[in-house]
Amino acid sequence: MQLDALVRELGLKVQCAGGNLGREVTGGYVGDLLSDVMANSKEGDIWITRQVHQNIVAVAGLKDLAGIVLIQGCEPAPDTAAKAEAEGIPILVTDLPAFEIVGRIYALIHP
């Protein structure tokens, strides 16, 4: 499923790199520990986190993730948003908690 379809289906708010929503989402990863995400996420995953600092953009770029979803209404820090825009990493925001958004994403990707 493409990232833009997830945005539409789930009502996600696009914060950064809205021009890169054509990326294919092949799976997902949930976690706030950057080393864990680096070790275990896979290319094409959507990353669900509450971290807002610019290191999330570095990890997403390193792992070639489809994008980042910030939970519970978290907003990216200004330097994070600027870095994500410059690197073309979509950052999306939801008001939902991680447990709920993960279930919804999973249901859409694996019907």
In the chain, what are the domain boundaries?
Answer: 3-109
Claim: this prediction has a pTM higher than 0.95? yes
3-109: CATH topology: 3.40.1390
**Cα-based distances in Å from 111 to 14, 21, 48, 104, 105:** 24, 21, 19, 10, 10
**Alpha carbon 66 to chain centroid, angstroms:** 7
pLDDT tens series, the chain, 111 aa: 999 999 999 999 999 999 999 999 999 999 999 999 999 999 999 999 999 999 999 999 999 999 999 999 999 999 999 999 999 999 999 999 999 999 999 999 998
DSSP state of 20: G
pLDDT value, residue 52: 97
pLDDT value, residue 2: 96
pLDDT value, residue 111: 83
Query: Which of 71, 73, 87, 88 shows the shortest CA–CA distance to 32?
Result: 71
pLDDT value, residue 96: 98
Does the CA dihedral 109-93-97-62 come out positive or negative? positive
> In this structure, what token pair is assigned to residue 79?
């330097």
